Structure 1
Amino acid sequence: MRDAAASKGREPSENEIKLVIGASSAGTIFEWYDFFIYGTLAYILKDAFYDVDNETLGLLLVWSTFAVGFAFRPIGAVLFGFLGDKLGRKYTFLVTVTLMGIATAGVGLIPTVATIGIAAPIIVILLRVIQGLALGGEYGGAAIYVAEHAPPEKRGFYTSFIQASVAGGFVLSIAVVLACRFLIPEDDFVAWGWRVPFLLSIILLGISLWMRLKLSESPVFQAMKAEGQIAGNPFVESFTYPGNKKRIFVALFGVTGILTTIWYTAFFSGMSFLRGPMHVADLTVELILFVSGLIAMTFYVMIGKWSDTIGRKKPIMIGAVLTLLLLFPAFWGLGSLANPGLERAAAETPITVSGPQCTTDPFADLFDREQTDCGKVLETLTASGVPYTLEAGETLTLSAGGQAIAIDPAWFEDGTARREGIRAALGEYGFDFSKQQPGMGNILGIVAILLGLGMLSALTYGSVAALLSEMFPPRIRYSSMSIPYHIGAGYLGGFLPLIAGVIVASTGNIYSGLWYTWIVVAIGIVVLWWGVPDGPPRDFEDAPAT
């Protein structure tokens, strides 16, 4: 690809476009792999890096550290957005992918909490900060780079490969974990084998750099540079350019808020729901998510191409409205298919808890607060996926189908003893807490539901790179697009596993965390309807937004 030709407005050839899409998408897959591998292995990392015997708290701490990376994405968006608008798209996302690869490999080298104590989670947090900064500059760079090479009539189709690559990073993380499971015995994988997927990041980094170094600068950026149109301070101009404040607000709440909460609910909430309260075997969960995610990747390309015909707004609106209607039924369906025995036992033998101060404090152990005995029982029931009814009472009682269950005082001294004791007692009433292996018919049903959730994600995400690129002026596009995207994805989406987990732990209802997604999407629909115009796709116009 010749810079001179590009700066004069020559359209890239078909082979050049394929290189642009291939290299940008591959780098995006590798970078999101680096970010998602932490979430994929959360169930192991909670024991490797945190010294707690409370199962719920351990997982919440892992999701808290997961959220730290997202919290720093907006800062990375500001930093690398500035560099991308000043120095160019290509070299900026070369830096981001390098930072991500080094930080991810670093996680695989950290000694466990049993070896170096509290230093282990502190180092993990620092590396997650670096990952968050890097990812804050990656998505905007890759999406804009492809968008600025694409002809307007194919912009949704070409940029949809970047959207599919985000899901591809999740799929790759699962594929690598599956390969490690088949090659490394289970006990060894839990003990040390989990480090391999992190260390593999070095190889992926080398491949990504090799591919991206073949690329030339975006023709749009070259033209702006040749004409002296580079922004003086892209960050400041993002908030002073006429109409841009409204565009940023709409991009944050009306576009990113919708897509990011649906995405993380479909993939991460689905994974932790099956693996956690539904007790489905880890290998089975990973195989289900791998197949579902791999198929769902094609949906993003289909929707992106569709948006070139009908416009960007309509698919997002359709997906968001369907999410409000189908979100809860989809997860109810997952529960009934994944562990029908647990659902049947809960219906036939309802669990009742009564006693004083029957509220849960998910972070009691972390802040050295005393959890009440009733709260400890409720926490264990919730972590076990057992629904319960609370009744007023002066003394703590636990009953199954009206039959009182003897409470062992030892339960309140040790979390493991409490979990094993309560599960053993409920096992007498038909509750099965062993690792579940659903039948093939049920597995196919689970995959179908996850594909449905994947389609909802694709409808709200497949056309977004094109839409956001079209919303903002080229001279400040990297910054203006990255700031709202990464604030929304970083806080509204990245904190979703943690927020949903706290809601579930506090209410005792394993489905209650879905309300967070439902509310964010409902607000987003209103903003989207108000702020994004209908009609076919169109390039950015200099006229101020009304």
Structure 2
Amino acid sequence: MAMTDLSDPNARSRPMTGEERKVILASSAGTIFEWYDFYLYGSLAAIIGAQFFTPFPESTRNVFALLAFAAGFIVRPFGALVFGMLGDIVGRKYTFLMTILIMGLSTFFVGLLPSYFSWGVAAPVILIILRMLQGLALGGEYGGAAVYVAEHAPQNRRGYYTSFIQTTATLGLLLSLIVILMVQGYVNGNYPDQPVLDAAGAAVMNADGTPSMQKAFNAWGWRIPFLGSIFLLLISLYIRLTMNESPAFKKMKEEGAASKAPLREAFGNWKNGKIALIALLGLTAGQAVVWYSGQFYALFFIQNIVKVDSFSANVFVAWSLILGTGGFIFFGSLSDKIGRKPIILAGCLIAALTYFPVFSFLTQTANPALHAAQSKEVIVTVNPADCSFQFNPTGTVKFTNSCDIAKAQLSRASVNYTTVEDAAATNATVKIGDTVLTSYDAAVLTGDELAAAKKTFDTGLADALKAAGYTDTTTVAKAEHFFDIFTGQKITIVLTLTYLIILVTMVYGPIAAMLVELYPTRIRYSGLSLPYHIGNGWFGGLLPATAFAISAQTGNIYSGLWYAIVVALMTVVIGAIFVPGGTHKKNIFADDK
């Protein structure tokens, strides 16, 4: 079927045809599958690590964990460069096909890949390669999806149609959570537990001589969601093979206006390079921290800080995604009327102003006993030279100073504490009520002496925290099944999380159309992909580790929110000054030779 000539302004302002709408919705569906593939690893990282990394010595295991982390976030901008260039030279459609094929096959092969116990060191090496391919493919996916949809959309409805692309990351996360919950429930309910294996492939034994066991899902069931992605790949390939090339790209190629070196043109001169810098600092950095705070950090917070069990936390977040996802469409459509910039910056500002009370309310609602315990005074006396900034994105760095050990344990227990500096102090001390505990220096002590000091401190700290009410689990919110949310406590949690998702939709709903409108057709794919993936892959991807490090440094579990707040406010200021307004009225089909 022939596409309408969207280079005609009259054509661009009319409603989309059924064929065009089908193409754009199909493109969004394919992108959902890509995000589903990417999130599977993140959701199951701990289980997969046990199969591929745990048998190694600690130093080697740490290297693999670092590489897996880098593949998920750091590699994405490089994918943006590679596929952005191809998209501007070869075309949107064929680059789309490449990214979905690489992502889908990489995910499927993760499900097939034998563990360390079968293939030895080759298994984790191949796993890292597959993860890097996923990161590269995802880096090329978003820009292509945003550009492709925007270049098909009527001029006065770009925000509305590109907002469907904006739902894909959230829907991909939701789909991965639902599939994992369903498969986990079925496998663990119908198959027996399996023995835990050591580096030699033998069963690990408990102190009483019985084998240590793990759930069947942890042993082998985790592979099912990865293997099932092959069906999503086939569907996605079919969808993308039926799509037409972008009319803007076709027009540009016919006129001979395509760029021969889009990367150099997009970033090699100040005229275009400053657009990327403004887009990064004045749009995507703030958007990223709000996006990650509302989805990933919220999940991390209620699991690791508020101490809600993993299943219940996933249920609450899944429901908030279901309730809040429509906001992407609403704010995308609203941006067609009032502009993209005011909505994005308003979302960043509202988030910055409300994060502290909202996350505190989340703790008070989901774990009232913990919230009450946090009001009791805890004092940590340290020698400041003994303390480090505990930035640990892979979870593998070992902090051995007495100050770091004390602060890390208190932070993991969600304790708010006050730090008193004493340059004469040898080891850090922790005062909880009338109990004073002395930490230990793991770099100085060895053998039995280290074991005894560790046991004394750990046991004493556990007893003191229990007495202070920190380990009281009687009031913690718990969902027995997916539909077990209809109590006052659980509904309040879901609605609070939904508020955070609404902020996500404000900053993320209009961003695709905004980025598309900043660049001419000839370098559009390359130009918008890099600032988007640096913003989301680096500013957003580092958020949980940075927030925890700040909390440990300051002694307040909410202090980590300052990272998101400061970045969001930076974006508000830079965006207000430097990001152009009125781009929603721009003719992106204008001659940009």
- TM-score, normalized by length of structure 1? 0.89
Contact 1:32 1:170 in 2 (8 A): yes
Give the letter aligned to residue 220 of structure 2: W
| 2:542 alignment counterpart | 495
2:67–2:128 contact (8 Å) kept in structure 1: no
**1:315 lines up with 2:353 in the alignment:** no
The answer to whether residue 509 in structure 2 is matched with residue 462 in structure 1 is yes
Stretches of structure 1 that go unaligned for 5 or more consecutive residues are none
2:455 aligned with 1:423? no
Give the equivalent residue in structure 1 for 2:2: 2
Partner of 1:351: 378
Name the aligned partner's letter for residue 404 of structure 2.
G
State the Cα distance separating 1:389 from its structure 2 match: 2.8
What are the superposed Cα offsets for residues 269-309 of structure 1, whole Å, 9 maximum, x if unpaired? 01011111211011111111111012221000000000111
User: Residue type of the partner of 1:204?
Assistant: L
**Match of 1:185?**
188
Amino acid at match of 1:402: D
1:135-160, Cα deviation, whole Å (9 max, x unpaired): 11101111111111111011110110
Superposition pairs for residues 4-83 of structure 1, below 5 Å?
A: 6=5, 14-45=17-48, 47-51=50-54, 65-83=68-86
After the TM superposition, which residues 291-330 of structure 1 pair with which residues of structure 2 at under 5 Å, given as runs? 291-330=319-358
141 and 370 in structure 1: CA distance in 2 versus 1, 3 angstrom threshold: closer
- Secondary structure of 2:430's counterpart equals strand
Please give the secondary structure, in 1, of the residue aligned with 2:352. helix
Tell me, in whole angstroms, the C-alpha distance in 2 between the residues paired with 1:402 and 1:507: 22
User: 1:329 and 1:63 mapped to 2: Cα distance?
Assistant: 34
One-letter amino acid matched to 1:401: G
Q: Alpha-carbon deviations, 1:348-387, whole Å to 9, x = none?
A: 4x33333556525648999987702343232122112122
> Which residue of 272, 291, 309 corresponds with 1:263?
291
Q: Which residue matches 1:222?
A: 250
Which letter does structure 1 place at the counterpart of 2:83?
A: F
1:198 equivalent in alignment to 2:226: yes
Q: For residues 191 and 423 of structure 1, what CA distance do their matches in structure 2 show?
A: 31
Preserved CA contact (<8 Å) 2:146 2:512 = yes
* Equivalent residues of 1:66, 1:128 under 8 A apart: no
Is structure 2 residue 519 aligned with structure 1 residue 519? no
Pick which of 479-488 and 386-395 moved more: 386-395
Give 1:402's match in structure 2, choosing from 425, 431, 434. 434
Distance 1:338 1:416 in 2: 31
Name the residue aligned to 2:405.
376
**TM-score when normalising by structure 2:** 0.82
- 1:481 is aligned, of 509, 528, 535, to 528
Tell me how far 1:177 sits from its aligned partner.
1.4
Shift of 1:472: 0.7
Q: Does the C-alpha gap of structure 1 residues 48 and 340 become closer, same or farther in structure 2, counting only changes over 3 Å? A: farther
One-letter amino acid matched to 1:438: A
Q: 2 CA distance for matches of 1:443 and 1:91?
A: 46
Q: Could you list the per-position Cα deviations for residues 36-64 of structure 1 after superposition, in whole angstroms to 9, with x for gaps in the alignment?
A: 222223454454454499x9xx9998687
Deviates more, 1:283-292 or 1:486-495: 486-495
How far apart are the structure 2 equivalents of 1:38 and 1:147?
30
Structure 1 residue 200, shift from structure 2 partner: 2.2
- The CA deviation at 1:65 is 3.0
1:360 and 1:505 in contact (8 A); partners too: no
Aligned pair count?
Answer: 541
Q: Distance in 1 between matches of 2:353 and 2:450?
A: 41
Q: Is the contact between residue 32 and residue 171 of structure 2 (CA under 8 Å) also seen in structure 1?
A: yes
- Specify the alignment match of 2:203 in structure 1: none
Distance 1:373 1:114, change over 3 A: farther
Which residue number in structure 1 is paired with residue 302 of structure 2?
274
Q: Distance in 2 between matches of 1:368 and 1:210?
A: 44
Distance 1:388 1:52 in 2: 36
Moved more, 477-486 or 155-164: 477-486
Shifted more, 384-393 versus 417-426: the winner is 417-426
Query: CA separation in 2, counterparts of 1:438 and 1:7?
Result: 53
Residues 96-149 of structure 1 show CA distances to partners (whole Å, capped at 9, x for unaligned) of 011111222333344556776766554443222111110111011111111111
CA change 1:128–1:485 in 2 (3 A) is same
**Residue 94 of structure 1: how far off its partner (Å):** 0.9
Equivalent pair of 2:71/2:131 in contact (CA under 8 Å): yes
Q: Secondary structure at the match of 1:399?
A: strand
Point out the more displaced range, 450-459 or 158-167.
450-459
Letter in 2 for 1:403: T
Q: Are the counterparts in 1 of residues 32 and 169 from structure 2 also a CA contact under 8 Å?
A: yes
Alignment CA distance shift 1:115-1:362 (3 Å): farther
Q: Distance in 2 between matches of 1:306 and 1:123?
A: 45
Q: Does 1:413 align with 2:451?
A: yes
1:157 to 1:169, Cα distance in 2 relative to 1, 3 A = same
2:274 maps to which of 236, 242, 246: 246
1:389-413 CA deviation, whole Å, 9 max, x = no partner? 3344445543321234598998953
Matched residue type, 2:379: T
Q: 2:363, 2:64 → 1: CA distance?
A: 25
State the distance in 1 between where 2:229 and 2:472 align. 36
Q: Which amino acid in 2 is paired with 1:521? A: A
Change (3 A) 1:335 1:113: farther
Quickly say closer, same or farther: Cα 1:216–1:472, change in 2 above 3 A. Answer: same
Decide whether the 8 Å contact of 2:366 with 2:493 is kept in 1: yes
Question: Cα offset for 1:414?
Answer: 9.4
Residue 87 (structure 2) aligns with: 84
In structure 1, distance between residues paired with 2:348 and 2:522: 31
Question: What is the alpha-carbon distance in structure 1 between the residues aligned to residue 454 and residue 39 of structure 2?
Answer: 29
Deviations 1:431-459 (A, max 9, x none): 22659741732222222221111111111
Q: Secondary structure at the match of 1:386?
A: coil
Correspondence for 1:385: 414
Aligned equivalent of 2:205: none
For 1:407 and 1:228, locate their aligned partners in 2 and report how far apart those are by CA, in whole Å.
Answer: 70
Task: Evaluate the alpha carbon distance shift between residue 240 and residue 64 of structure 1 in structure 2; reply closer, same or farther with a 3 A threshold.
Answer: closer
- Give 1:134's aligned amino acid: A
Q: In the alignment, is the contact (CA less than 8 A) between 2:156 and 2:585 conserved in 1? A: no
Give matches, 1:335-346, under 5 Å: 335-346=363-374
User: Paired residue for 1:127?
Assistant: 130
Higher mean displacement: 175-184 or 457-466: 175-184
- Residues 420 and 225 of structure 1: CA distance in aligned 2, closer, same or farther (over 3 Å): farther
Is the Cα–Cα contact under 8 Å of residues 360 and 376 in structure 1 kept in the other structure? no
| Amino acid of the structure 1 residue aligned with 2:259 | A
* Shift, 1:6, TM fit: 4.8
Conserved? CA contact 2:369–2:473, under 8 Å: no
State yes or no: 1:161 paired with 2:164. Answer: yes
Return closer, same or farther for 1:434/1:358 CA change in 2, 3 Å cut-off.
farther
Task: Give the conservation status (yes or no) of the 8 Å contact 1:63–1:498.
Answer: no
Residue 2 of structure 2 aligns to which amino acid in structure 1? R
Structure 2 residue identity aligned to 1:325: L
**In 1, Cα distance between the equivalents of 2:351 and 2:437?**
40
1:422, distance to aligned residue in structure 2 (A)? 3.5
Percent of counterpart pairs with the same letter? 40
AA aligned opposite 2:101: T
Does the 8 Å contact 2:547/2:560 carry over to 1? yes
**What code does the residue aligned with 2:134 have?**
Q
Q: What stretches of structure 2 of length at least 5 have no aligned partner?
A: 190-214, 479-486
The DSSP-based 3-state class of the residue aligned with 1:229 is coil
- Are 1:534 and 2:581 matched, yes or no? yes
- Separation in 2 of the partners of 1:91 and 1:327? 42
Task: Measure the CA separation in 1 of the matches of 2:225 and 2:119.
Answer: 22
Supply the distance in 1 between the matched residues of 2:587 and 2:269 (Cα, whole angstroms).
13
